[in-house]
Structures are given as C-alpha cells and as structure tokens.
Structure 1
Amino acid sequence: MPVAVYVLGLSVFALGTSEFMLSGLLPELAADMKVSIPTAGLLISAFAIGMVIGAPVLAVATLRLPRRTTLIALISVFGLGQVAGAVAPSYEVLFVSRVVSALACAGFWAVGAAVAIAMVAPDARARAMAVMIGGLSIANVLGVPAGAFLGEHLGWRSAFWAVGAASAVALAGVVTLIPKIPLPTERPRLRRELTIYRDRQVWLAILVTSLSAGGVFCAFSYLAPLLTDVAGLESGWVPTVLALFGVGALVGTALGGRYADAHLFAVLISGVGASTVFLVLLALLASQPVAVVGLTFLLGVSAFYTAPALNARIFNIAAAAPTLAGATATAAFNLGNTSGPWLGGRVIDADFGFASTAWAGGAMTLAAIVLAAVSLRFHRASAKASRVVTGSATAGAASTASTASGKPASGKPASGPVSCSVAE
C-alpha cells in the first residue's frame, strides 16, 4: 500500500476529529460563549450542513482540477478553519468557521477517495478505502476523547488548536508524498447521472441513512451533559466514555463490513433495530451510570455495524452515477448528523431533559426501520419481476426454437399449437 494512502488516512483522522469532537466540549464551550447547550449543539449541525452541501457540489466542481493541488488547497482551508475556530471571538464567527471547515472536509473526502483509488491496483481499492475510513474510526477512538480531555484541562479552544496542528502535519504529507494524478480522459455525464434521483429506492436509501445516523447522533451529541448532569459522573469520565463509543465503532465496522455484502438488508435492519433498543434503554436508564457507559459502547457497535450496509445500499442502487454516488452517501449521513443534533436541541429547549434526546433518537431510528422495510419490499418485488421476465424470455426462446423445428424443447413431437405468454 503506498505511503500516500496512509497520508490520506491521517488527513481523515483530523477531519473526523473536528467533526465529532464537540460532543465532549459542549458544556465548556456553551459557558464560554454564553449560549445554551442546545445552541452550542447547533455547531455540530453546522459542520454537517457544510458536508451535505459540500459533498455533491465539490465532487462536481473539482472534476477537472489537478487532484494534488485540490487536496493541498482543501486541507489548507480546513486547517485555517480550525485556527479561526480556536480564536473565534463570538459564537457567530465560530459557526461560520465550522461551515467553511465542513465544506473543505467534504471536498477532501470526495477528491481523496478518487486519489486513493487511482494510486493502487484494482484489487487493492477496497483496502485503500479501508485505510481512509480507518482514519475516521481512529478519530472516534482517539481524536474525540483527546479533544474532550484537552477541553477539560486546557479549555475547549485547545482542541481546535490540536486539530489545526494535525491538519498542518497532513498538509506536509500531502505536499511531499501525494503524486500527481492524471485527470480522467472522459468527462462524466452529469445530466445522465442526475437521473438516479428519479428512482424512489435512491430516496428511500437517503432517508434510511439520514434517519439512522440522525437517531444515534441526536443522543450522542449531548452525551457529555447527559453523563454529568443525569448519570452523575464526574466530567473526567467523559473522554473515557467517548473512547468506549469509538471502540464500539471499530468493532461494529469490522462486523458490518464482514457480513453486509452477503446479507445487506439483514445487517441494515438488525443494526438499526439494535440502535433503537439501545436508545430506548439509554432513555430509561439515563440515571444509572454503569448502564449509560455500557449502552454508549453498544450504541457505537450498532451504529457502525449498520454503516457499511447503508453505504453499500446507496452505491448499489446508484451505480450508474459514479460521480454522485459517493457524494450522495456522504450527504445522506451528514443530513442525519444535521437533523439529529437539531432535534435533540429542540427537545432539551422544551425542558424534557437531556435523557429525552435518546427518546427522540429512538423515534428517528424507528422511522428508519419502517422505511427500510418498505425498501426491502420494493427490492423483492423488483427482483421477482426480473425473474419472471427472464424466465418468460427463456421460455419464449425455447418456444421459438420448438416452432422452427416442429418439436418442443424436450425433443418430443409437438402435439398442438405452441404459444408464449408473459406473466404479470
């Protein structure tokens, strides 16, 4: 595996840490910025909004730009966004810095994936992508808890400085180790690719992905105040519990990646179903610290166990759109990362308490299960129709041959007129 692929994985580590680290910084950040915790939680949604917009837009806008130069520009903008967040004098400035950082993050994901695949042989593409996604998983195991630890001891701004430093290291790696990648000779036909959005299965997949991700992050985004204010744990426990979620994410990714190809809908529905159960238990047992810690780990497992199936589903049904398939998947996940924290903030503002975010998240994942069941029904109906048409075509061919020879396909003389009908 080229060293440059690992450089991309390091870059994704910085990107992923920035996206999720606010989950452990909300109380300190809210107090410093003199805003409510739900308002501070909108900073998580701000990043996700930037990803939703940036993924498809930058996937298209950078098609004809040099890949290496684009990566350098995007990681530079991302790093500057972290510096802007670290020195932000107001909540509004911090909000804008999050959106700008997210746009750069989305573009880096889109271009970086193309570069990783271009640098390896066809039979090593999955491993190359695994290195990039591994950077995101490690961000959940190490980066997010480290951000919470820094926030606890050095202030929330130190976490932004740390991600800025990681971005500088990633920039140096991109400049020195990423080779020049030739541009594709044939421009993708975007008008043709846009036709995938006429398919109801594409929209169902987007909704299922958004609701399942949103349900988990509706609760996860406010995990720090739930741990301290409801479960009664000391704030020093927050990084440890966040790390447990990250370990669960690694376990879930490994399990889901192993079984999703062969049992996609089974993994999808069982994983989202497990997340729903864990969220309900989290709401019911929010005042029990041992239960909350264990359920956080299990929620990490179930959420990331489902992720490979959710990605694969979108890529399977949007295979005719190689430029937009990945951007659609990224946008769908981040649509959930936008709506989940927003909904969690609304139920907290309504004075339902921090535990209510788990109830709201469970409602979102339950809706995802219903839509996944609808999608499975359409999938089975489509597969059945394809088998009927294929079988009818085969029978028709056999009948034609029988008519021409005067014998049926079995080789026996025909005893009557030959007919062919297509079953509905």
Structure 2
Amino acid sequence: MICSVCRHCGLCEGSETKKNVSVLADFSGLENLKGDNSLPLNFVGIAFDIGTTSIAANIFTLKDGILVASVGEENCQIEFGSDVVSRILFSSKPSGLKKLHESILSQIERISKKLILASQNFFVENRRGRAVLKRIVISGNTAMESFVLGISAVSLAQFPFSLPSKFGFSVESNELGNFETIPPDCEFYFAPAIESFVGGDTVCAMIACGFLEKVENKFLADIGTNCELCVYSAESDKIFCASTSAGPAFEGYGIDCGISAQEGAIAKVEFLKNNEIKCFVLGNGKAIGICGTGILSAISEFLKSGIIDFFGAFVSGKEKIILQNEIYICQKDIRNFQLAKSAVLTGLEILSEKSGCKSGTLYLAGGFGSLLDIKDACAVKMIPSFLSEKTFAAGNASLCGASILLLNLGLRKSACELAENSVHVDLAQDKSFENLYIKNLNFK
C-alpha cells in the first residue's frame, strides 16, 4: 500500500499483499535494453513466455526499457492436458478450442493486472502517472501461440504435421477477445515460428543468445520434455534447427521420487570422502523429492564413484541408492535419464554434422538447462565433448528474447527473416539417428 490510509484510488492494490511477483527484478541479459524515447513515460509493455507447464512474464516501461516487475506461475491449461499432444486432442473436441483460448486469455489478463499493480509504486515514486498497457509479446511453442490466437492446432498432431501459422504478426486485443483491464487497442505480437515443433519460443531464445549477430558458431539447446536444438554456422551463414522428444525425466517425471524444481527438491548431490551423501535442497528445507538437475548430479557422482558402470548399471547389483529421507534413485530412473540425455546429445551431434560446426559456444536454456552443473552434463556425456569448454546457462532465453522484441520493433523483421531462413532438420527421418541414439545411451 502506497498511502497510510487506503482511498481505493487504483494506483496500487490497497492493503492486500502482492504474491508471486518480483518487483524491480534482476533478469540476466536484460540490463542493456533500450526503449523508445518518443513515447510517454507511463506507457508499458509485457513480454510473455507461454510454456506448456508454466508461464513467465516481464513488464517494462516502453520509453526507457526499465524492467519493473516479473511473475511466473503454472499454466492453467494443465487442467485440459499435461502435455502439448493431450491439449491438441482436447482442442479437437466440441468447444475444446474455445475453452483453451478463453482459459489462456483469462490468465494473460490476470498476470497483466498483477504486473501493473506491482509496478504502481515505481510509477508513483518516479512521478510517471498511471501505467498504460500498450504492447504484449507472446513467445511460445506453436501450439501455445495457436491457443492464444484462437486457431486450431490439430494439424500439429496429424501427418504431415504442418504449421497452423508461421506467426510473426500483430493483432489488437479486441480481435482476440473481450478484456476487462487490457485496453482494446493493445498490440499483441506473436513471435514467428520455424516449423511445427520449433516455434516462436525457439526464435526468441536464439535472439537472446545472439544468433542475429552472426559472428561465431553458436549452439542452443532449450532443454525440457521437448528439446529444441539450433546451430549457427559462421562459415555457411546458415542456421540449422531440430526438435527432439527427451521425455519427462528432465522435469522430474518418470522418476520414482521425482518432482519438479520446487522447494524441497534435491537439486544437487555430492559424495563426501567418508562415503556420506550430501544433498543440496531447494529452499534449504527437508527433501521431499528429486528434480531433474538432482538426478543429473547424482548419476554424475555415481559414475565418478564407480557405483554404476558406463552402461548405467549398478556395479554391486543394488536396486537403488538412498540419498536422503527415503528419497532414492533406482535402476529404472537411470534408464529413463539415459533416454533423455541421449536425445539431446544425438540431436546436437547430427546438427553439428549437418552444419559442419565442430566448435563453438553452447547455450543451455530452459529451467533444467539453467540450473544444471555444466561439469555434470559433461560427465554423463549429455553434450558433445568439443563444446564442454564453452557451455553456458542462458536462463529463460525465450522470455529474454520476447522482451527484446517488445522493446525493439526493428528486430521483429529480423526475427521473421531468421525463422524463414532457418534450415529445419527432421531427426526422425535422419538415417543416422537410431544408431547414434543407441550408442549415446551409454555414459562414455
């Protein structure tokens, strides 16, 4: 609350506590963004990363590009299906698409309202007046952007798996639906897609990781249940991209004690000299499960200590290793992780071969990619050895790229050209994929 007595003026949310909002957030990669000095001080824009599981958003001043607040929460469409395919199938039912469309628009409006309320202290203290929302950028996979726009994504689930739209255009909010707090003339810009399963979130991630600069070889791996992989070849001046299904192990699913990266999740494991196991728990409380990075870390330690061999089997014949509080990793967990890590490594190796790039910088994006220990990823052979010395965590690169497109309108044309000129590699049709995939299941 701004004042000592609430007069319900609307400049803040009164005496209620702001929840799940980070005000004046420090977001890596967004420090040097600039706005449009010709715009009024009170104009704001919001960048959205619409993920299948979660949604993240940043609110900026459009005049000077100041990041004022950010928010993240679960995608409410989960009630209609936990993954993309199940939601596409739901959308094909009577009124299914309408429900998905209205659900995501309602959440976008709620988040927008939350961010505007969270930013009002900043506007009052800096005498900028009342914030006016003028622009929104939507970054997401092809299905998520389709649901926001309200168009069918059924073609993504049927051969030949065609794009419902290439996106890369703007509409006014009143063309999407009726909003209570988002002005009818607010611009919604949809990040351009490359292929059916390489969407606007990947294009935004490439922009955030400097793929428009075209200076040196670059690799990008946006790691999750579905992994998007990209390579820029400085020699040919071409971008090669692909998608691969890694399965849910990176998100903590398909693992006996697996959970998402939340409070209480074991995120890193360390073996001490006295054979004790030290677990690093998110939130520093009691461990209730293990997340993707914890599984990676534990398997890396198992390899170093000789508990498992290079094929992933327990050497002593044990069925499981208890880490903490009856939380364990079993043989099945290791096998599921091997399937996931092999998908990433195989995809990167094939793109390396197609592009001719045998060196470069690798950016790991997404929640899992941002939290993992690079040394652990190298130890389990999840990334090519020639990239091990120049691998960096890129954070939520999709949201960062969306923020760039929010503030730099001139780059939107460049984003569309990047999407149009990227060479898509269908890994499922590549003759070498199966043999490489089987080979890369091992940890050597």
TM superposition score normalised by structure 1: 0.26
Higher strand share: 2
Higher helix share: 1
TM superposition score normalised by structure 2: 0.25
- Higher relative contact order, chain-length normalized (CA < 8 Å, sep 6+): 1
